Amino acid sequence: MRMSRVSRAVMFGVALVAVVAYIAGGQTYRPPYADCQHWGQTIGVAESRHSCNRYSGAIGAFASAYAGGGAAEAKQYLYIDVPTRAQVSVDATITYVGGTVAYGFAAFAGTQAVWEIDGAQSRQDIDPAFGYDDIAQKVIDLALLGAGGIGSVAQAAEAIGLIYNAAQLASALDQLMQAGKAKQFHIRFSFDAAPGMHVVGVGFRVNVSGAITGSAFAVMAGQVSSIAVTGLGGPVILNVPGLGTVSAGAGGRTVVIQSAGPVIEYALQYGTTYQQGEVGANQSLTLNIPHYAAFSLTIARPVEGKIGWIHARENDNRIVYVTKRG
């Protein structure tokens, strides 16, 4: 068995700055993404080619088999920072050119949507959009955006990763869509996200197998056009290391206190209203805040020598604030 892989390079402080997001109702992301990965393997007489480019969102996968099997896969990745526990939903749109063909007895070629949540991968079969022979030249034409001298579909699947211009790739795929030579599909999933950083990947995979009496070919080339993310958490307003965070809740009418370990003592005050209590160790608590009014919130753990304070006002579901911590 032969296997090839290009691993994700976690680029904190560089790419991550542009693509990490706090979940605040919903946001749609487009290239460039945080990172990408492409992977393939073969058994027997088979071939696997694959590529990706995080700047353009390009992904490509090709596999062929005569007496064995092969697979190729490519994905784009997004890093999501969730300040408080949330049910996060993802809806990715992938635009692509591709198809399959199998000749003879016992040959197989298939295409799949793939997605990954914090390293755990899932796959789902999708119907090939076109016949392989009908679409082969379109795959090559698309890859010529990244490199010249491409003479085969296998080479094209690798050259897709050389496309850096996201707008140019999107325009070419849109023209193919209008001509009926490209398709789109969605990958939709949800997961329960604990506070912290989560890694989400989306893309596609091709699988083939062949025997002495048959052969198979499969190719997919295109772009992760967008990744829409929605959830229940909000941006962090106050972070007191070793104590916890205060985040804007869904819709801008609540705040969420999240313990980073110790019990948190809190006090919320606005007008003549005064509310106080505790948040358990490693627990969270959602507080309603006044509408069109100013309020103050203190979180503290005197025995730990830690305190944080917010003075804020909500208006039209937006919170403006100043903070202090010690």
The mean per-residue pLDDT over the stretch 150-162 comes to 96
Find tokens 């700047």 and name the residue.
55
Per the CB < 8 A criterion, the answer to whether 187 and 78 are in contact is no
* C-alpha distance across the termini of the chain, in Å: 58
What dihedral do alpha carbons 147, 152, 154, 156 form, nearest 10°? 30
The mean per-residue pLDDT over the stretch 28-44 comes to 95
Q: Which residues contact 284 (CB under 8 A, 6 or more apart)?
A: 84, 85, 195, 256, 257, 258, 259
Q: What DSSP state is assigned to residue 271? A: T
pTM: predicted TM-score of the whole model, two decimal places: 0.70
Q: How high is the pLDDT of residue 156?
A: 97
For the chain, residues classed under CATH 2.60.40 are: 236-325
For residue 18, what are its two tokens?
């542009």
Tell me the range of 27-31, 96-100, 314-318 where mean pLDDT is highest: 96-100
Q: How high is the pLDDT of residue 15?
A: 30
CATH of span 236-325: 2.60.40
Rounded Cα gap, residues 308 and 285, in angstroms? 16
On the question of pLDDT at 305 being above 70, the answer is yes
SS3 177: helix
